[in-house]
Amino acid sequence: MIELAIPDLLRVTPGSRPDLDATDAGSTPGFEGDKDAAQVRLKELRQELAEFQERLWAEGGQSLLIVLQALDAGGKDGLIRNVITVFNPQGTRVAAFGVPTEEELRHDYLWRIHAATPGKGRIGVFDRSHYEDVLVVRVHELVPASVWKERYDQINDFEATLAANDTRIVKLYLHISRDEQRDRLQKRLDNPEKHWKWSSGDLETRERWKDFQAAYTDALARCSTDHAPWFIVPANRKWYRDLAAAEILVAAARRMDPQWPEPEEDLSSVVIPE
């Protein structure tokens, strides 16, 4: 495997416009092995990510923000369970953004987002994010088009501010096909233990598939930048989704390259009492 091939292949080049209809959600770009080989590789990547977090925490000068977006049943929870959980929860926060509360609605739409961004030495994970304000808000016409159209530039400015203050941003769009989504939603209906995950809104969202694809295409095209790139992760194969996400995160971790801090004093003469 060519080092960092998967991140390079999945990254949305700034200024380009991806074609989601032509992107095979069942493909495995950059990886020719099978599920078993992917799991071996994932174990290696998880180890590197764990070591990275320890250095990140010790250095205390940078932070990492991971943004996850997907359609219903896209696999965000599975990715968090299989990849993100390698991080020590003491230095990691997962924030899930649902319908805004009354308090949040009294502020601008980025207020609640900024409050959840990671501090120095920490890792933040957004399960859905500020992009809902150019996705759901757009498709369901919750605000006028003149309002959401201004938000692409506002989001870019917001992310540029985070990046300028040493927050590395990695944005993953988990891309599943319409058929795969149907299969996953059906499994929720077939399994009583998954009924709690079912929402009648899932069907309404599915009926607006083309509208959401158009909204995601614009978000990916308008908001993939050098300092906050989008990655389109084919997610029909769950094992490849996890592998690709880990490869992308390791690539970001290597670029961040946090360093162990120097000790505050010379420790060579310290003797621990019996």
Q: What is the 3-state secondary structure (H, E, C) of 97-125?
A: CCCCCHHHHCCCCCHHHHHCCCCCCCEEE
| Residue 2 pLDDT level (bands cut at 50, 70, 90) | very low
Q: Which pLDDT tens digit goes with each residue over 11-52?
A: 999 999 999 999 999 999 999 999 999 999 999 999 999 999
| Sheet (strand 123-127) strand order | 92-96, 123-127, 63-70, 167-175, 230-234
Total-model pTM: 0.94
* pLDDT the model gives residue 265: 77
Exposed (0-12), middle (13-18) or buried (19+): which is 150, by Cβ within 10 Å? exposed
Mean pLDDT of 172-201: 90
Cβ atoms within 10 A of the Cβ of 192, count? Answer: 8
Backbone φ and ψ of 117, nearest 5°: -70, 150
Question: Do the Cβ atoms of 149 and 159 come closer than 8 Å?
Answer: no
CA dihedral for 129, 65, 50, 59, sign (positive or negative): negative
Q: Which pLDDT tens digit goes with each residue over 199-208?
A: 777 788 889 9
Contact partners, residue 82, CB within 8 Å, separation at least 6: 42, 238, 242
Tokens of 273: 């009492």
Q: Which pLDDT tens digit goes with each residue over 90-105?
A: 999 999 998 999 999 9
Cβ atoms within 10 A of the Cβ of 209, count? Answer: 12
**Crossing angle (nearest 10°) for helices 178-190 and 200-207:** 170
Q: Which pLDDT tens digit goes with each residue over 104-119?
A: 999 999 999 999 999 9
Mean pLDDT of the chain: 95
* pLDDT the model gives residue 244: 98
pLDDT over 60 at 239, yes or no: yes
From the options 3.30.565.10, 1.10.10.60, 3.90.79.10, 3.40.50.300, give the CATH code of 5-256. 3.40.50.300
